[in-house]
Amino acid sequence: MKKDNTIPEWPMDAEGQKAKGAVLLYAKNPIDLSITQNLLHAYGIPTLANAPNQGFFSRTIFGSDLVGATLYVPETQLEEAQALMDAQIEASE
């Protein structure tokens, strides 16, 4: 399977384990989630979305999650991600 090079890899900590994640935001719909993830990926920040109570079939049948998701970034990049989100909000106002 070909690896998608547009998604940055999750960083490792000093012990060689994946770095701890930190909550960045809760996206209410899949479009907001996708836009935010793409913005962060463009700046080299990996993301992980947790959509609770979403089974395999919700994404397969409907093409997206039915409810929102919590978006995580590496704890070491949380401030950078928050600054990007703040800049995006200021630019849209």
Higher pLDDT among residues 24 and 92, named by residue: 24
Structure-token pair, residue 7: 């998604």
pTM for the structure as a whole: 0.75
Helix, strand or coil, per DSSP, at residue 11: coil
> Is 8 among the domain residues?
no
Residue range of the domain that includes 74: 21-92
**What is the CATH classification number for the domain harbouring 40?**
3.30.70
Higher pLDDT among residues 87 and 23, named by residue: 23
Question: How many structural domains comprise the chain?
Answer: 1
Structure-token pair, residue 91: 């630019």
**Letter for the amino acid at 77?**
Q
Residue 88 has pLDDT above 60, yes or no: yes
> Is 43 among the domain residues?
yes
> Is 13 among the domain residues?
no
Banded model confidence at residue 74, pLDDT cuts 50, 70, 90: very high
Could you give the CA distance from residue 93 to residue 23 in angstroms, rounded to a whole number? Answer: 24
